[in-house]
Structure 1
Amino acid sequence: MAKSKVETVFFDIDGTLLGLKSKSVPDSTIEALSILKSKGTRIIVSTGRSYEHAKFLAEHGFDGFITFNGSYCVDSTGESFFRHTIDVNEIQSLHDHLTGFDKFPVGVMTTEGSFISDITDDVSAIFKLLKLDAPPPQDFSHALKSEVLQLNLFVDEDKETHILTNILKNCVASRWCPQFIDVNAKGISKQIGMEQFFNRYGLSAETSMAFGDGGNDIEMLKTAGIGVAMGNAGDNVKSVADFVTGTTEEDGIWNALKHYELI
Structure 2
Amino acid sequence: MTISLEQFLLSDQKPDIRLALFDVDGTLLNVDGNYTAGVQKSIARVQALGVKTAVASGRPYFATRFLWQELGLVDTGVFCTGAQIFEPSTNTLHKAHPLPDSSVKKLLAQLREQHLYYELYTDAGLYIERDVAPEILGVHCKHLRTQPIMQSFDTVHDPVIKLLVGVDLDKSANALQVLEQRFPDCIFAYAKLPAYPRWLFASIIHHSASKRAAFDYLLAHYGISASNVISFGDAQSDMEFISMAGVGVAMGNASDAVKNVANIVTSPVWEDGIAKVLDVLI
* TM-score of the pair, normalised by structure 1: 0.89
Corresponding residue for 1:86? 99
The unaligned stretches of length 5 or more in structure 1 are none
2:179 pairs, out of 163, 166, 185, with 163
Give the RMSD, CA atoms, in angstroms.
2.1
CA deviations over 1:114-146 (Å, ceiling 9, x no partner) = 311223234334426736444112223235x33
The code of the aligned residue for 2:97 comes to H
Which deviations, in whole Å up to 9, do the C-alpha atoms of 1:157-214 show, x marking residues without a partner? 4111221112x23111122122422111124244433322222221222211100011
Residue matched to 2:196:
none
Conserved 8 A contact 2:219-2:226: yes
Counterpart of 1:139 in structure 2: which amino acid?
S
The one of 51, 62, 74 aligned to 1:52: 62
Does residue 138 (structure 1) correspond to residue 151 (structure 2)? The answer is yes
1:172 aligns with 2:187: yes
Map Cα deviations across residues 216-240 of structure 1 (whole Å, 9 max, x no partner). 1011101111100011111111111
Q: Does 1:199 align with 2:220?
A: yes
Alpha-carbon contact 2:81-2:189 (below 8 Å) kept: no
1:29-108 equivalences in 2 (<5 Å): 29-59=39-69, 60-62=71-73, 63-75=75-87, 76-98=89-111, 101-108=113-120
Q: Which of 34, 51, 58 is the equivalent residue of 1:24? A: 34
Q: What letter is aligned with 2:42?
A: A
- Asked if 2 retains the 8 angstrom alpha-carbon contact of 1:90 and 1:169, the reply is no
Does the aligned pair in 2 maintain the 1:19–1:247 contact within 8 Å? Answer: no
CA, structure 1 residues 259+187, in 2 after alignment: closer, same or farther (shift >3 Å)?
Answer: farther
Tell me the distance in 2 between the aligned counterparts of 1:37 and 1:68: 24
Match of 2:245 in 1: 224
Unaligned runs of at least 5 residues, structure 2: 1-8, 193-198
User: Who is 1:244 aligned against?
Assistant: 265
Matched to 2:279, the amino acid is K
- Larger mean CA deviation between 195-204 and 37-46 belongs to 195-204
- Return closer, same or farther for 1:128/1:200 CA change in 2, 3 Å cut-off: closer
The aligned runs of 1:110-129 (5 Å cut-off) are 110-120=122-132, 121-127=134-140
Q: 2: CA distance between counterparts of 1:46 and 1:228? A: 13
Identical columns (%): 26
Q: State the one-letter code of the partner of 1:112.
A: A
Q: SS in structure 1 opposite 2:227?
A: helix
User: Compared with structure 1, are the counterparts of its residues 102 and 248 closer, same or farther at alpha carbon in structure 2 (3 Å cutoff)?
Assistant: closer
Counterparts of 1:193 and 1:142 in 2: how far apart (Å)? Answer: 31
Q: Name the SS of the counterpart of 1:203 in structure 2.
A: coil
C-alpha change, 1:96 and 1:61, in structure 2 (3 Å) is closer
TM-score, normalising length: structure 2:
0.83
Is the 2:234–2:258 Cα contact (8 Å) retained in structure 1? Answer: yes
Q: 1:38 to 1:194 in 2, by over 3 A?
A: same
Residue identity in the other structure for 2:215: M
The one-letter code sitting in structure 2 at the alignment partner of 1:41 is V
1:46 maps to a residue whose letter is A
Q: Provide the secondary structure at the position in 1 that maps to 2:150.
A: coil
